[in-house]
Amino acid sequence: MRTLAVVALSLLAATSVAEARTTKHTGKHGATPQRAHRLAETRHTTLHAAVERLPVRGQSIGVPWGGQLHDPAQLPEGEGYVIRRPERAFGTKTTVDLVERVVTDVREKFPDQHVLAIGDISAEHGGQITQHHSHQSGRDIDIGLFYNEKPKNYPADFVRATADNLDCEATYGLIAGFAATANEDGGAQVIFLDFDVQGLVYDWAQDHGVSDEKLARIFQFPHGRSSGAGLVRHFPGHDNHLHVRFKCPDADSSCR
């Protein structure tokens, strides 16, 4: 049994190393969607075989693009936000607690803002769900943005942000709230947001006294779409929502 565990851990490690060498983040956020999809399928098979041979320690099992969710927590309904698909609002307890805390804090700071759209985390037991290649292990969540006026069809649909409709102050508050968790156990690992939308929020924050040092910690903008700077990173298709990925909690030893 110990030999099987060692082999399984080796498979997990090898898969993670291969992923790191091929792309910065795969699945929904892969540099080459077709290649990322093939890698995700291979990883999913390998990781599933690995975790079947190992005792589950924690809630998030495997990687976000090829994992499972054990003993899930569900994000509860709350004031000021709408969970678009409750059957996909399952995550690790850490992820759910941090999301609820950040969103509640932002709602308190901006009580007059319109309702906030909360998109998918994971299915109850994790695994692949439609419209996503990640969101498999309870550590990814899609969250809508704030606008000057609530757009038509929002929060049922995410809405593309522009210089004319985006409430940069409230959206900065949302981003900064998640960024502030980065040093916590299981806190934010990366936030995906379109580079041009980053620029709108960055410019507002700079004009309103946020220090260059703090902005550099948070945003990839203005260093280029391929830059490794900042917690918030560009990826196409993310001009209408944030995708927040949380780190593995220390107690989740099956998490990758």
CATH number attached to the domain at 71-246: 3.30.1380.10
Domain edges within the chain: 71-246
* Residue 95, token pair as written in the block: 């992820």
Closest CA to 54 of 41, 38, 39, 70: 70
Tens digit of each residue's pLDDT (9 = 90 or more) over 157-203: 999 999 999 999 999 999 999 999 999 999 999 999 999 999 999 99
The average pLDDT across 41-68 equals 67
Q: How far apart are CA 182 and CA 191, in angstroms?
A: 10
The residue among 220 and 14 whose pLDDT is bigger is 220
pLDDT exceeds 90 at position 25 = no
The residue among 3 and 94 whose pLDDT is bigger is 94
